[in-house]
Structure 1
Amino acid sequence: MMKWKILLAASGLMLLGFVGSAASFADSKAELDASVSKTVKQFYALSPKNKELAGKAAGMLVFPRITKAGAGIAGEYGEGVLLVDGKTVGYYSNASGSIGLTLGISDRSEVIMFMTQASLDKFTNSHGWSVGADAGFVLVSAGAGGSYDTQTLQKPILGFVFGKKGLIGDLSIEGSKITKIVKVSSNVK
């Protein structure tokens, strides 16, 4: 039994290493910026309320593509930007790993809105922020094209998942760790 646990842990670390090394395959800055712009347009097209809501946000993290893959042990990775007043103020990675009943591969887009300056400041001052660990975070359950209730709109951080493609049915983004890309690779500047 102990050998299986060690094997499982080693496999998980290998998978996380593979997913984490995806940074070396990152899009160039121009490609990432173009993907973010396209993703924002798609997000706004899902519901007129999305653009209105974004206009009220202090900042918005946009991850055009987060890829999740696994066979029992799963990992996911994506890169995106933090927009403040429609301008890019930083580049970020989004990564996580899990053990469980996961089989397949999928891609999705994520938008995280910081609805208050305090929640944005808390995020930008962190050295790695975990989605869901912040008590003020809520995943908008109706989806990116759904309607919002008054209680949801009062939360300081709103998360949206959309554009899902692939074979994994998990829509959760909790547990993802978002980290500022400080050491810029030759591709992302």
Structure 2
Amino acid sequence: MTKYLRMMAIISIFAIPAGCQMDHSTSASDVKAANAELNREANAALQSLYTKTPQARALAQRAKGILVFPDVLKAGLIAGAHHGEGELIENGKVTGYYATTAASYGLQAGVQRFGYVMFFMTSSALNDLKTSNGFEVGVGPSIVVVDSGMAKSITTSTTQSDIYAFIFDQKGLMAGLGLQGSKITKLSR
């Protein structure tokens, strides 16, 4: 039984990132279409967040950059992983594409989809994302994950952290959701 559980854990760790990778033989038009689709999804995700949490719009107006992951898939059975692709928006324009990936181990079972947005409030935090060879959430700039209760008390005068993250549109069943340990890497497309 233990051998079976270990095998399931290993499979679940590698299944999500492997299933979400783009085929390296894709044409330029396929990449352009994928980027356009990601842009539509990111804009829809931002509008959904702004509608449900108006304070996020106020943060967006002051942010140096906004990293949007509209659709992240998390799955696990003892060991788990999550993966999704998103885009970085600076001054209203897309300046790069990124992937978020994490692996976890512990008491967990289920599958869930969610989106998240990170508002980079300082130039140094944004620079860390853009120049690192894999930005690790929880290492480096201070990040505050904002829940719905905290969002109501956020004002432009109370924001003191480098990065604010909002998790939204959760669908599915999975106990425990966080960003700690996520690695964000720039995609070459």
CA contact (8 A) 1:143 1:162 kept: no
For residue 52 of structure 1, report the CA deviation from its aligned partner.
Answer: 1.3
Task: Give TM-score scaled by structure 2 length.
Answer: 0.85
* CA distance 1:152–1:136, shift in 2 (3 Å): farther
Among candidates 79, 97, 100, match of residue 94 of structure 1: 100
Say which of 14, 19, 22 aligns to 1:17: 14
Code of the aligned partner of 2:22 = S
Give the AA of the match of 1:64. Answer: P
Match of residue 154, structure 2, among 141, 148, 151: 148
Change (3 A) 1:152 1:125: farther
> How is 1:127-146 mapped onto 2 (pairs within 5 angstroms)?
127-142=133-148, 146=152
Deviation for aligned residue 1:28: 1.4
- Name the aligned partner's letter for residue 23 of structure 1: Q
Aligned length: 180
Is contact 1:106–1:166 with CA below 8 Å preserved after alignment?
yes
Rounded to whole Å, the distance in 1 between the matches of 2:9 and 2:115 is 24
Shift of 1:148: 1.9
Amino acid at match of 2:67: L
Structure-2 separation of matches of 1:31 and 1:160? 22
Structure 1 residues 95-134: aligned runs within 5 Å:
95-134=101-140
Aligned position for 1:64 = 70
Q: What's the % identity of the aligned pairs? A: 34
Q: CA RMSD in A?
A: 2.6
